[in-house]
Amino acid sequence: MVLKPLCADGESAAPTCPEHLHLIPLDLPREGFHHFICSWLHVSPDLTVLVDPGPASTVSVLLKALKEKNVRRLDIILLTHIHLDHSGGTGLLLRHYPDARVVCHPKAIAHLAKPEKLWQASLRVLGDVAELYGPPEPVPERNLDAQVRIERDDHSLSGIETPGHAPHHVSFLFDDVLFIGEAAGIHFPLESGLYIRIAAPPGFSHGDYRRSLETIAGLRFSHLCFAHYGCGADPQVLLAIALRQTGIWASVMECHRQKRGEKFEQRVMEDLLKEDPGMALYDLLPRDIQAREWFFLRNSFQGMRLSLFNR
């Protein structure tokens, strides 16, 4: 295994992350679906915050981790966006923490309260991967809130709209940590460097994605926390790679826009492995993670193509 170990039960997320911040791995029972989804937990005597509870199918894993960390209450649940691998477990989680305030983009509230359309759209796009995530339960409207701002001596918390990956995407600046969801794509730390790539599902906007990265790059923070996966050791380097990546992907897509199906996907992949520094270490990923990545990369190529060329 060439992935850097980022956490273990009861340990902080990574040496570069604050001690009160914990990464909770949400591995799924399918080959390659490890080191993929994580939830972030902040614990202090007066405030407990959870970022992206993950899919419905891993709520039992999440609850076990919360119990091990002696979390008896959740004050705030932050949702960077409402794709099933980030928000799908929220309704189930609220059975155990019914007083938690769930903060999300205002466009997301109706989908969380009545998730059937979200579930059906996920099935169409992801197929059996959506089944792996599990159907979401409704989130009670009394728990939902589109506003978050805390400013006091010990903590500050604010939301920043970062559309692109999804129109309802929000990043959260908590003290000097930025929880970025998928606003800068998918991230894997490796012993020899890092792998980072764009996640472009249906609804992706290339222009918004780039503008959101520029917005993030203008903020002041010391730690960058991804939903997929881990804590960025050098945020400005990561953001520079992600910004450059947007131009490289657009250029490669333009070169192959007339091709169709597998031929399009294969040619794009070949060029990205040669030209995109963020993708350069793809061959060093474990084989099972490569297979998982190829599934999502193919979806991203099509989402990017649609965003750039409307076809």
pLDDT tens, position by position, 56-97? 999 999 999 999 999 999 999 999 999 999 999 999 999 999
pLDDT tens, position by position, 152-180? 767 889 999 999 999 999 999 998 899 99
pLDDT band of residue 145 (cuts 50, 70, 90) is very high
More confident residue, 5 or 247: 247
Task: State residue 178's pLDDT score.
Answer: 96
d(CA 230, CA 25): 9
pLDDT band of residue 8 (cuts 50, 70, 90) is very low
Task: State residue 311's pLDDT score.
Answer: 67
d(CA 311, CA 303): 9
Q: What is the pTM of this model?
A: 0.92
Indicate the class that CATH gives domain 21-309: alpha beta
Task: State residue 98's pLDDT score.
Answer: 97
d(CA 189, CA 195): 6
Domain boundaries, the chain: 21-309
Q: State percent of the chain over pLDDT 70.
A: 93
pLDDT tens, position by position, 104-129? 999 999 999 999 999 999 999 999 99
What value does the mean pLDDT of the chain take? 90
Contacts 24+ apart (CB under 8 A), 23-30: 23/225, 23/230, 23/231, 24/61, 24/62, 24/65, 24/66, 25/61, 26/54, 26/55, 26/58, 26/61, 26/62, 27/58, 27/61, 28/55, 28/57, 28/58, 28/132, 28/133, 29/132, 30/132
